[in-house]
Chain A
């Protein structure tokens, strides 16, 4: 039986993470993966989904009441088609986390959240306790509803020829919520969860103004800028910069932690990065325990020096 991946998109293209979820779906169902692209005027996103390797069919539902992908309307669309699938999955992003438990509830299924590995079609590994433990769980439900930790799966490649796109009738508008709009942080930098390099700052950075030092380094490296919860709580940067158990989970090739002490909750969000660099003036900072390279130095001296050297 096929697997259905619920695509997160901006109308024009797929969000980073969707192709990783498709890789997870292939591990469950083989190359029999369908992708649902529901949105308002999202034809281009449907075409993008059709070009991903492993995708057999794209289902495209277009209606104004899918703008902002409200969980109520998305679930009302997904649930009637669920019987055709053994696995229904989405990336474990704010999008997937919002929609999928609603789908699971309506199907009377126990969702499996944030899986990091597929052991078999009914057995999955998922991090618990902020990644301090890994649980292997087996589902007895007929339909498996899952969200996928996108950093744990490689993105699926490009298909040799695009899959068929089937236009489907939109589901009902439940009218339960009204989408009023989004205020997205504007940045020229890559998205945090998709960036090859991330430069993150903590409480040690000291102020919003001082974050410019990190931004200069990030721009030199083509990196995204992240932050610890302490930096977010102190108001240095917006919440969507937050890397950690309660923020974003990242696993870039290079993670540079600046002025971050390394609270458990922060480590949970970045310790799967390939190479970790920590710069902190406190030689006892716990972040050094997970760092591949660590420098005990004043960040206000070290970071500009590094920017200059690159």
Chain B
């Protein structure tokens, strides 16, 4: 079966994010970018399913600036067979992302779409669920285990307080949680091989999707800073401070 995976280019999670002084957003110029970690888990899952013989083809999709091609090349170095970039410089909000992906899904007809549960830049945690809604497909979010058998998949989901088990009809959209797998490192030979894999570029207009933002960002600010703390010498002093000063125990 064919699987579609989505990859987003984001600020590297180990980079300290700086809010722009004019309050319009965060600084992205000359900042190290990388594949969203949850998307990496999605690609890894698809590749493992291909290695297990469950999946025949993996199509990676990204949406954004031309540099997202690099993110797609990384996905292909991990094992995706080809890439599609929906190229735009515009701010594409989650609803618009889901609408663009619906068009790609309709064209490609995958049996499964695997996405990260959230992107670590805007932390929206929406696209998978919204795409499933637009396709009228079942969804399995925050998955820690996916087993496909025929036209269904048995899925374990990470929920508050434990785990949930679902059986999902295919085709379906699934989103990944941290414990689904540990993504592989890409090797140099695979990076070289990925350069030869096909990468198609399309524009949102060509897909007939209106990506006009519905949310207007009025300002972006730094969160309030915590005041400097006190170093305590020992446990006795700590307990005394918590009792008498902070009065929390």
Residues of A bordering B, CB below 8 Å: 15, 68, 70-72, 75, 93-95, 97-106, 108-114, 123, 127-141, 174-185, 191, 193, 197, 221, 229, 232-233, 238-240, 242, 245-246, 248, 253-254, 264-265, 271, 274-277, 288, 290-297, 302, 305-306, 309-310
Contacts and interface: CB of A to CB of B under 8 A. Distances in A.
B70 interface: no
Contact of B229 (A102, A136, A239, A288): A288
A185 B98 CA distance: 34
Interface of B: 11, 13-14, 16-17, 19, 26, 38, 93-95, 98, 118, 120-134, 137-142, 144, 154, 157-169, 172, 177-179, 213-223, 226, 229-236, 238-239, 241-242, 246, 248-249
A174 B234 CA distance: 60
A239 B144 contact: yes
Contacts of A232: 178-179
Contact of A104 (B126, B142, B229): B126
B95 A104 contact: yes
Given A129-B11, A177-B167, A238-B162, A111 B235 contact: no
Given A110-B94, A296-B231, A178 B124 contact: no
Contacts of B213: 110
A6 B106 CA distance: 31
Nearest to A113: B124
Contact of A108 (B38, B95, B123, B241): B95
18 contacts: A101-B130, A102-B139, A105-B98, A111-B126, A128-B122, A128-B220, A132-B223, A178-B166, A181-B165, A182-B164, A184-B162, A248-B160, A254-B248, A277-B238, A288-B231, A290-B229, A306-B239, A309-B239
Contact of B246 (A101, A139, A292, A309): A292
